[in-house]
């Protein structure tokens, strides 16, 4: 067992010494945010901090938040509101806002929440212990100057907390995105796409295996556009002794190939599961979204995948209420879901994200009531499909 892991388990299982500073962290967002929180915890534990599961006990409370959809942001804001009272009772307790939400709102966070001490963007996260130290002398620290993360600072991997230290380890293989879908803020907040070297990734996987992690998840905004050949990477990870299962997320249809489907079929450790967001079933909307594929091209991919790997499980992301979406466009989305019969679908109501092309050029003209209704119809549909699949 590595020193790091021993330290980490000790921090969680042994009674804490009085002097040990305590951190509470809460993550609002995707697996990438979860991973980033792990990096933060790892960095702090190495510096002698202990992890606690209740903000009341903490010397610093960190919220790591996503900014991709308005709803995700709202959750962070309302939780911060609730934290205000605790901060009044415990004025020495520090509060930090991390992640995309910090990168996006920067010092503006202080206008609404002046009690926040630290605002730290995703590329700055690995320096978090230094920023906390600065808070000994300063009331507030703003750390949002880095656009792209330095992989070296992030190369230690940690088990996912919510898995309870069982077997699941995450490895980031690339970060950022170059696709600039018209509705999406990710390229602005996480920077341009960058891929890590295969050798470095394999080393990290081996380190995880040495620490007892057998289920490896490869993470990135679009793992299949990994520049050093994603299929080759899967083959190499598949060869590593001790790895029992390999998952990966998330994928873009534009970069998805038959070669990947064959690799999923032929590599025994690779999970027979693909998350492949389609966003809309209407070609007109797909074009406005700048997704780079048509409905038919998406369906062709799914057909090919099911031919090569009939037992595959599929999930997707869908946006309803994109600007100008008519009832007819929406019905095409619904039909696509009925045709593919996904195992799971994440359905989002469109929200304009400041700075994106859609926000600048298209009026958010689908009324909230209509978005809610379309959202509910797809949720009900997905529930029905899932129930039918379970019954079978």
Residues making contact with ligand SF4 (CB under 6 A): 177, 179-181, 184, 186-187, 221-222, 252
For the bound state, the minimum distance from the C-beta of residue 201 to ligand SAH, rounded and expressed in Å, comes to: 19
For the bound state, the minimum distance from the C-beta of residue 191 to ligand SF4, rounded and expressed in Å, comes to: 11
- Which of ligand SF4, ligand SAH, none is residue 69 near (CB under 5 to 8 Å by kind)? ligand SAH
Compute how many other C-beta atoms are within 10 angstroms of the C-beta atom of residue 241.
6
Q: What SS3 class is residue 301? A: helix
Cα gap 266→246, rounded to integer Å: 13
- For 197-264, the DSSP string reads -HHHHHHHHHHHHHTT--EEEEE-TTGGG-TTTHHHHHHHHHHSTT--EEEEE---GGG--HHHHHHH
Nearest to 245 by CA among 279, 216, 205: 216
Q: Between 219 and 319, name the residue whose CB sits nearer to ligand SAH.
A: 319
Compute how many other C-beta atoms are within 10 angstroms of the C-beta atom of residue 46.
14
- Which of ligand SF4, ligand SAH, none is residue 348 near (CB under 5 to 8 Å by kind)? ligand SAH
Q: Between 195 and 221, name the residue whose CB sits nearer to ligand SAH.
A: 221
Q: Between 117 and 179, name the residue whose CB sits nearer to ligand SF4.
A: 179
Q: Which H or E element spans position 101? A: helix 100-105
For the bound state, the minimum distance from the C-beta of residue 177 to ligand SAH, rounded and expressed in Å, comes to: 6
- Which of ligand SAH, ligand SF4, none is residue 87 near (CB under 5 to 8 Å by kind)? none
Nearest to 251 by CA among 223, 278, 229: 223
- Binding residues for ligand SAH, per CB under 6 A? 68-69, 183-184, 186, 221-222, 250, 252, 277, 279, 317, 319, 348, 350-351, 353
Beta strands per DSSP E along the chain: 22-28, 50-51, 60-65, 94-98, 118-120, 141-143, 168-172, 174-175, 194-195, 215-219, 245-249, 273-275, 313-320, 344-349
Q: Between 242 and 367, name the residue whose CB sits nearer to ligand SAH.
A: 367
- Which of ligand SAH, ligand SF4, none is residue 319 near (CB under 5 to 8 Å by kind)? ligand SAH
Cα gap 270→253, rounded to integer Å: 19
For the bound state, the minimum distance from the C-beta of residue 146 to ligand SF4, rounded and expressed in Å, comes to: 19
For the bound state, the minimum distance from the C-beta of residue 289 to ligand SAH, rounded and expressed in Å, comes to: 9
- For 309-341, the DSSP string reads -TT-EEEEEEEES-TT--HHHHHHHHHHHHHH-
- Which of ligand SAH, ligand SF4, none is residue 187 near (CB under 5 to 8 Å by kind)? ligand SF4
Q: Between 64 and 211, name the residue whose CB sits nearer to ligand SAH.
A: 64
For the bound state, the minimum distance from the C-beta of residue 291 to ligand SF4, rounded and expressed in Å, comes to: 7
Q: How do beta strands 313-320 and 174-175 pair?
A: unpaired
Angle at 264 between CA 258 and CA 268, to 5 degrees: 150
- Which of ligand SF4, ligand SAH, none is residue 63 near (CB under 5 to 8 Å by kind)? none
Residues in the chain: 392
For the bound state, the minimum distance from the C-beta of residue 289 to ligand SF4, rounded and expressed in Å, comes to: 8
For the bound state, the minimum distance from the C-beta of residue 223 to ligand SAH, rounded and expressed in Å, comes to: 9
- Which of ligand SAH, ligand SF4, none is residue 351 near (CB under 5 to 8 Å by kind)? ligand SAH
Q: Between 45 and 260, name the residue whose CB sits nearer to ligand SAH.
A: 260
């Amino acid at each position: 067992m590595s020193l790091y892991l021993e330290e980490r388990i000790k921090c969680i299982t042994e009674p804490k010494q009085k002097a040990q500073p305590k951190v509470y962290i809460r993550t609002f967002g995707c697996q990438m945010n979860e991973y980033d929180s792990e990096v933060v915890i790892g960095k702090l534990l190495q510096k002698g901090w202990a992890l606690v599961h209740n903000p009341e006990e903490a010397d610093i409370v960190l919220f790591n938040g996503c900014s991709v959809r308005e709803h995700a942001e709202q959750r962070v804001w309302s939780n911060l509101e609730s934290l205000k009272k605790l901060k009044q009772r415990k004025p020495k307790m520090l509060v930090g806002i991390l992640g995309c939400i910090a990168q996006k709102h920067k010092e503006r966070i202080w206008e609404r929440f002046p009690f926040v001490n630290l605002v730290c963007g995703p590329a700055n996260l690995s320096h978090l212990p230094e920023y906390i130290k600065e808070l000994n002398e300063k009331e507030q620290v703003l750390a949002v100057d880095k656009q792209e993360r330095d992989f070296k600072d992030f190369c230690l991997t940690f088990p996912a907390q919510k898995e309870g230290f069982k077997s699941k380890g995450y490895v980031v293989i690339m970060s950022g995105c170059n696709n600039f879908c018209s509705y999406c803020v990710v390229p602005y907040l996480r920077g341009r796409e960058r891929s890590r070297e295969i050798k470095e990734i394999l080393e990290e996987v081996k380190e995880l295996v040495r620490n007892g992690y057998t289920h490896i998840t490869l993470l990135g905004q679009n793992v299949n556009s990994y520049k050093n050949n994603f299929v080759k990477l899967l083959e190499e990870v598949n060869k590593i002794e001790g790895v029992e299962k390999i998952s990966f997320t998330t994928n873009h249809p534009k970069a998805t190939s038959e070669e990947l489907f064959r690799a999923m079929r032929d590599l025994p450790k690779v999970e027979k599961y693909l998350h492949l967001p389609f966003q809309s079933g209407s070609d007109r909307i797909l074009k406005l979204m700048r997704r780079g594929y048509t409905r038919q091209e998406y369906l062709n991919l799914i057909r090919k995948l099911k031919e090569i790997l009939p037992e595959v499980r599929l999930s997707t992301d869908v946006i309803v209420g994109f600007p100008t979406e008519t009832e007819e466009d929406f019905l095409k989305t619904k039909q696509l879901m009925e045709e593919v019969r996904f195992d799971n679908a994440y359905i989002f109501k469109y929200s304009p994200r400041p700075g994106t092309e859609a926000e600048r050029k298209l009026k958010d003209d689908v009324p909230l009531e209509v978005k809610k209704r379309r959202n509910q119809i797809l949720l009900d549909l997905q529930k029905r499909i899932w129930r039918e699949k379970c019954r079978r």
